């Protein structure tokens, strides 16, 4: 146990659950895109970095050739609730016109980040845009965002690990968990 995993109150999704679910999701995506020449994954930095790396490898084993792009956007800043403002910190490097795009997200919470991103990718003339998200919170169901592939529906608690941060920490934990309340006062 490292100093920071002792900040975790309880685990929500274990490392093994993540691994199994990632393989399942890759099989679903591969089956649905069996006739695609290639799939362009767009990972949403920074939170999706772990899931992107594992999902791309899982999909590459069972599906069409995979290409990887990254965008960095942020809506949360330092806090635990969405600021309501999405900023592009890093844009796409390449033209995505006519491509089959799958947005790879770690979590959909308010849905603000994704709804903004989907509009943006459509404005860049992608042929088809699907979303794979490892985690989804209940609020996401209240907005009409087509998240075609979802790993786990989780309770409305602030979670960290496997890419997800609190004030940039805990992204390196291999599981997803809930922080002890005492941690919030510290920052």
Q: Could you list the residues that contact Mg ion (CB under 5 A)?
A: 76, 165
- Is 159 a residue that touches ligand PRP (CB under 6 A)? no
Judge whether 109 counts as a catalytic residue: yes
With CB under 6 A as the contact rule, the residue among 107, 131, 132, 154 that binds ligand PRP is 107
108 binds, among Mn ion, Mg ion, ligand PRP, none (CB under 5 to 8 A by kind): ligand PRP
Catalytic residue among 24, 109, 153, 165: 109
Measured from each CB, the residue nearest to ligand PRP is 47
- Is 106 a residue that touches ligand PRP (CB under 6 A)? yes
What token pair was written down for 70?
Answer: 């990254």
Q: Which residues are catalytically annotated? A: 109
Which spans of this chain sit near ligand PRP (rule: CB under 6 A)?
44, 46-47, 74-76, 82, 105-114, 165
């Amino acid at each position: 146990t490292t100093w920071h995993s002792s900040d975790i109150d309880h685990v929500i999704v274990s490392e093994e659950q993540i691994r199994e679910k990632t393989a399942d999701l890759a099989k679903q995506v591969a089956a649905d895109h069996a006739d695609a020449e290639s799939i362009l994954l767009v990972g949403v930095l920074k939170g999706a970095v772990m899931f992107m790396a594992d999902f791309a490898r899982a999909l590459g084993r069972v599906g069409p050739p995979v290409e990887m792009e990254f965008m960095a956007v942020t809506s949360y800043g330092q806090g635990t609730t969405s600021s309501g403002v999405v900023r592009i910190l890093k844009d796409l490097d390449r033209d995505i016109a006519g491509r089959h795009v799958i947005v790879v997200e770690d979590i959909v919470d308010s849905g603000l980040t994704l709804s903004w991103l989907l509009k943006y990718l459509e404005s860049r003339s992608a042929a088809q845009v699907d979303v794979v998200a490892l985690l989804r919170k209940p609020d996401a169901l209240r907005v009409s965002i087509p998240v075609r592939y979802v790993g786990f529906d989780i309770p409305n608690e602030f979670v960290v690990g496997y890419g997800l941060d609190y004030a940039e920490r805990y992204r390196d934990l291999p599981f997803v968990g809930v922080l002890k309340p005492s941690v919030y006062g510290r920052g």
